[in-house]
Amino acid sequence: MGNNMQINPQLPVRANIILTLEKINQGQSLSLLLDDLLTAVKDNEKGFTHELLLGTLRHWHAISRIGESLIKQPPTDIGITCALNMGLYELLCMNTPDYAIINETLNAVKSLNKNYGVGLINAILRKVADKKEKFAKKINKNHSLPNWLAKELKQDWGDYYENLGQNLRKPAPIFLRVNGKFSTLTYYANLLNSADIAHEILPLGVAHERVIKLTTSQKVQFLPHFQDGFVSVQDRHAQLCGHILKALNLPKNLRLLDACTAPGGKLAQLLELSNDVFHVEHITALDNDEKRLNRVHDNLARLQLADKADVICADGTSYRTDTLFNVIVLDAPCTATGVIRRHPDITLLRTEQDVAQTVALQADILQNLWQNLAVGGHLLYITCSLLKSENERQITNFLAKMSNAKAVDFELTLPNQIKQAVGYQCLPLNDDDGDGFYYALLQKM
Ligand SMILES: C[S@@+](CC[C@H](N)C(=O)[O-])C[C@H]1O[C@@H](n2cnc3c(N)ncnc32)[C@H](O)[C@@H]1O
């Protein structure tokens, strides 16, 4: 059963959350919906709205299993499942009184003209409210991943799997990258101290580099000198990119291709790091998504780096240049299973079929970009995926096929940066850990 109602300020807050969940279940992404939702709710409801929506998504599969165990016939309207899951999450994981949750969830359902779901939702919420402790234990015990993904992660990560499954449903920490063109990490940490912004300084895992972690939630636009480009938000493991390349002590005047560049996080880091020692003469940055390239331009403008790179719209599977590159960064399109903590809707949007398609696309891009690399040049392959098929296996298959490619060793030193047959897999296993990233370094012979 469809629903043409749109998120709007006249609806109760829970009704707007149900509509958002419904759209995600139909394939839209949270990042495109969240602003609309938060704009539609009152200021004093924004925090609650965020917590209820994100919490429901983080626990979606665990909650769905509870709902399914109590219902004989699953509802034909996905909106009813969304309302039920939202109600169950609030009941089992938030502090709202039970009667208020049940009343408000039912009111929301009625305001969406879905009265046919009221009886079912009322019955299930009351049943669960009566045995809250039992169901709360259930929800917390297991992972909240779709079965196909849980199976793949178990195969790939054996001993780490349980911990990984639990951690993927937690919110991710916020890390900052300090722009060395304007500041040092120590100087910026002092600015944060002066502004009373709680933070920690943590190692990055490569050379002696460090990173800032914010320890309280903070609107980034209000960070000291954010608009002046002193600092950017970038995940701890994403920040390895520039430092792995810097540690190679490459010759000066590098010609670098940042393939798959949008929204430009790694590109900006490379430009910020470029100096007399790690000297990038020229960067070409490409992506095949025109819209996402707008975000690259915005980011570079804020960091005052707009004139430092040629940003082009091109397809990595076919792009060719006459002047070959010394370094190619390939931050490949992937299943993004490593960033589920930041985008919990991935567990609803991704399917098992997506994996094979993504692996094939990555192989095509890698194969084509290799033709643009000069002999002696390096290619840094990166994904934010946890799956070995996109990572270690992708690269070992490439090396087996390409007689002019070899793996280059580098060292990452943190416990959850795990050495693979080629490269490293970073896993989010602790609250301080960065996202799930894979890095492999190749050289053309
Ligand atoms: C993981 S994101 C890159 C993140 C970026 N490097 C950063 O650090 O901000 C992958 C990017 O690959 C792009 N992409 C997907 N298929 C592509 C293709 N065939 N050619 C070029 N870019 C592609 C997507 O548009 C997306 O922006």
Separation of 413 CA from ligand 1 center, angstroms?
A: 27
pLDDT of residue 431 exceeding 70, the answer is yes
Q: Choose one of 177, 243, 260 to mutate for the ligand 1 pocket test, by most ligand atoms within 8 angstroms of C-beta.
A: 260
Q: Phi and psi (nearest 5°) for 177?
A: -110, 120
Question: Which protein residue has the closest C-alpha to ligand 1 atom 17?
Answer: 288
d(CA 436, CA 383): 8
Of 257, 288, 297, 382, the residue with max ligand 1 atoms within 8 A of its CB, to mutate for a pocket test, comes to 288
- C-alpha 47 to ligand 1 mean position (Å): 31
Q: What is the pLDDT of residues 359-390, one digit of tens each?
A: 999 999 999 999 999 999 999 999 999 999 99
Beta-strand relationship, 174-178 and 210-214: antiparallel
Q: For 240-444, CATH number?
A: 3.40.50.150
For residue 361, give the ligand 1 atom closest to its CA.
19
The residue extents of the domains of the chain are 13-142, 240-444
CA distance 29 to 178: 29
pLDDT single digits (tens) 117-126: 999 999 999 9
What is the tens place of the pLDDT at every residue in 329-350?
A: 999 999 999 999 999 999 999 9
| Residue 407 Ramachandran class (φ > 0 left, ψ -120 to 50 alpha, else beta) | beta
**pLDDT tens digits for 148-202?**
999 999 999 999 999 999 999 999 999 999 999 999 999 999 999 999 999 999 9
Instruction: Spot the catalytic one: 260, 334, 384, 426.
Output: 384
315 is known to lie in a ligand binding site: yes
pLDDT at residue 2 greater than cutoff 80: no
User: pLDDT tens digit string along 59-102?
Assistant: 999 999 999 999 988 899 999 999 999 999 999 999 999 999 99
Amino acid present at 37: L
Question: Ligand 1: which atom is nearest the Cα of residue 319?
Answer: 20
**C-alpha 333 to ligand 1 mean position (Å):** 5
Q: Which CATH architecture has domain 13-142?
A: Orthogonal Bundle (1.10)
Residue 170, both tokens: 């937690």
Is 98 marked as binding a ligand?
A: no
For the chain, the residue count is 445
Distance 115 CA to ligand 1 centre (A): 43
Confidence label for 399 from pLDDT (cuts 50, 70 and 90): very high
- Please tell me the predicted confidence (pLDDT) of residue 4: 78
For residue 384, indicate whether it is catalytic.
yes
Q: How far is the CA of 373 from the centre of ligand 1 (A)?
A: 18
* Whole-number pLDDT of residue 3: 58
Q: What is the torsion angle, in degrees rounded to the nearest 10, for the CA atoms of residue 306, residue 307, residue 310 and residue 312?
A: 40
Q: Is the pLDDT of residue 23 over 70?
A: yes
β-pair partners for 311: 285
Instruction: Give pLDDT, residue 141.
Output: 86
Residue-wise pLDDT for 125-157, tens only, equals 999 999 999 999 999 887 999 999 999 999 999
User: Who lines ligand 1 at CB under 6 A?
Assistant: 260-266, 287-289, 292, 315-317, 331, 333, 365, 384
Mean pLDDT score across all residues of the chain: 96
pLDDT value at residue 281: 86
Q: Across 278-409, where does the E strand assignment appear?
A: 280-287, 309-313, 325-331, 373-383, 405-407
pLDDT band at 35 (very low <50, low <70, confident <90, very high): very high
Q: Does residue 282 carry a pLDDT above 90?
A: no
What is the pairing mode between strands 210-214 and 199-203? antiparallel
